[in-house]
A = this chain, B = another copy of it.
Amino acid sequence: MSIARGFSKAEFAARTRHAQQLMAERGLGALLVCTEPEVRYFTGFLTPFWQSPTRPWFLIVPPTGKPIAVIPEIGVPLMATTWLDDIRHWPSPRPEDDGVSLLIETLTDIGASHGNIGLPMGPETVLRMPLNDYQRLRAHLCDATFVDATDIIRTLRMVKSEAEIAKLADICRIVSNGFAAVPANVHAGDRLCDVFAAFRTDLIGRGADEVPYLIGAAAPGGYDNIIAPPRDAPLAAGDLLMMDTGATRDGYFSDFDRNFAIGFADDATRRAYDTLFAATEAGLAAAHPGATCADLFNAMGRVIADAGYQIGNAGRFGHGLGMQLTEWPSLRAADRTVLAPGMVLTLEPSLSTGPGRGMVHEENIVIRVNGPQLISQRAAPKLPVINP
């Protein structure tokens, strides 16, 4: 059985207070967010309606008190089920003024029309409102300064609460069980697209709400493409099959993959697998509070280089995990972020097995005081062979 849905009001209050502390340090009169994870982080507002690009949504964190929602009318009933008290709305879509004047009015109401308004503008952020509307907002609030608040959001979201960790562990458990059942359900001759559809269905049956991310490939000796949807081609003996999935439950993601040999595996493929397994072990050994992302990258990279491989083309060996498939930080050589208890990360070493071919392993972990806690069930130490 999966854990209960949602979060306590205390959880949202604590997130908001933490934001307000950081806002005070930075001298912000308001924090403005317009993206799904950020609105949800402060409210619990969970809906797939964000699939529709038509309407902008805004949330304002004032210096004290609860956040204020400035949202399309269609979202009011759902937002009213959250802990918020102040929900302002307009009849959207209304392209001629899609919330801009209501946003200006609300920011003015809370005294933020003079001073600094924080908005995420940095790496891994997007502006989910029309650029023209943002310019209009700035022009009308000419006595306010919009400043980059990426560091505030990053600081908050990068370290998970125990309630968030429980949700991440829950979906990782579901997906681990799903991967464990793959060998019994997959056969040479199966079309890759059918294998994927069956895996997707199996995960839903096990309690995943959605499977927004499912990619993979099958090819002898390594795959050439780790972000493609499945092809119709049938699995052949000697193929290395990889499936990588980001499934969600209650809005929190898993993100890990598994590799399987179909029928048999040659020595080179087994050796690449062993190398990535060892690289992940090195990543686990290094994943202690106080280490940096660069330390983890280097620990994994050393194993790969020592075995004589080039690294893969992903640009990093893992990343944060939470309400999004990938979050801050990146496990890369230039990232000096210091690991802290409560961070949830993927370890994702990859290597090249030849021109245009490669292999990738991935696990999901929580950084604890004494080291890493695996929340994905560790991959098999030796490459599993299906129908040997």
Contacts and interface: CB of A to CB of B under 8 A. Distances in A.
Given A53-B126, A122-B130, A315 B74 contact: yes
Interface stretch (A7-15, A19-27, A41-49, A372-380): A41-49
Contacts of A229: 46-48, 209
Interface string A30-69: 0000000000000000111101111100000000000000
Contact of A49 (B126, B130, B211, B215): B215
B127 A131 contact: yes
A77 B123 contact: no
A205 B197 contact: yes
Copies of chain A in the complex: 2
Nearest to A72: B315
Given A127-B131, A131-B127, A47 B228 contact: yes
A164 interface: no
Contacts of A134: 131
A37 to B, nearest CB: 8
Given A98-B123, A127-B126, A93 B132 contact: no
A97 B141 CA distance: 30
A158 to B, nearest CB: 13
A212 B51 CA distance: 8
A227 B53 contact: no
Contacts of A121: 130-132
A204 interface: yes
A382 interface: no
A78 B228 contact: yes
Contacts of A214: 48
18 contacts: A5-B232, A48-B212, A49-B213, A51-B212, A51-B213, A51-B326, A74-B313, A75-B227, A76-B313, A77-B225, A81-B228, A93-B124, A93-B315, A121-B130, A125-B130, A126-B130, A127-B131, A200-B210
